[in-house]
Chain A
Amino acid sequence: MANLKELAARGDKFTGGHRACAGCGASIVARQALLAAGDKPVVVTCATGCLEVVSTIFPYTAWDVPFIHSAFENSAATISGVEAAYKSLHRQGTVKEDIRFLAFGGDGGTYDIGLQALSGAMERGHNMLYICYDNQAYMNTGIQRSSATPRGSSTTTSPNGKKIPGKIQFRKNLTEIMAAHGIPYVAQSVVGNWSDFTKKVEKALAKGGPAFIAVLQPCRLGWGYPPELTAELGRLAVETNFWPLYEVEDGRYKLNATPKERKPIGEWMFQQERFRHLKKPEHQSIIDDIQKDIDARWEQLNKKCSL
Chain B
Amino acid sequence: MSELKKYKELALGGNIEKGGTAVDFKTGDWRSSRPVYNPENCIQCLFCWVYCPDSAVILKDGKVAGFNLEHCKGCGICAHECPGKKKVKAIVMEEEVK
Contact = CB atoms under 8 A, between A and B. Distances in A.
A–B contact (CB under 8 angstroms): yes
Interface of A: 4-5, 7-9, 12-25, 27-28, 31-32, 35, 55-67, 192, 194, 220, 226-232
Interface string B49-65: 11111111001001000
Contacts of A20: 53-54
B46 to A, nearest CB: 4
Given A59-B21, A63-B19, A230-B53, 7 more contacts: A5-B46, A17-B23, A28-B53, A57-B25, A65-B19, A228-B75, A231-B51
A32 B46 CA distance: 13
Interface of B: 14, 16, 18-27, 30-31, 45-47, 49-56, 59, 62, 68, 70-77, 79-81, 93
A131 to B, nearest CB: 16
A231 B23 contact: no
**Most interface-central of A17, A27, A57, A230 (chain B CB within 10 A):** A17
Contacts of A226: 76
Contacts of B70: 16-17
Contact of B51 (A28, A57, A59, A66): A28
B16 A61 contact: yes
A16 B51 contact: no
B80 A228 contact: yes
Contacts of B55: 12, 14-16, 31
Contacts of B68: 16
A23 B76 contact: yes
The DSSP consensus for interface residues of chain B is loop
Residue with the highest number of chain A CB atoms closer than 10 Å, among B26, B56, B59, B72: B59
B20 A64 contact: yes
Which of A4, A19, A24 counts the most B-chain CB atoms under 10 A from its CB?
Answer: A4
A60 B47 CA distance: 27
Contact of A17 (B22, B59, B80): B22
B50 A32 contact: yes
Give the interface centre of A61, A65, A232 by most chain B CB atoms within 10 Å. A61
Q: Which 6 A-B residue pairings sit nearest by Cβ, starting from the closest?
A: A16-B71, A64-B20, A23-B75, A228-B76, A17-B22, A22-B73
A27 to B, nearest CB: 4
A50 to B, nearest CB: 12
A230 B88 CA distance: 21
B16 A232 contact: no
A67 B14 CA distance: 13
Contact of A16 (B14, B54, B80, B93): B54
Contacts of A56: 16
Given A16-B27, A227-B76, A27 B16 contact: no
Nearest to A20: B53
Contacts of B71: 16-17
B97 to A, nearest CB: 18
A63 B46 contact: no
Given A16-B27, A60-B22, A27 B51 contact: no
A8 B46 contact: yes
Contact of A15 (B20, B49, B75, B76): B20
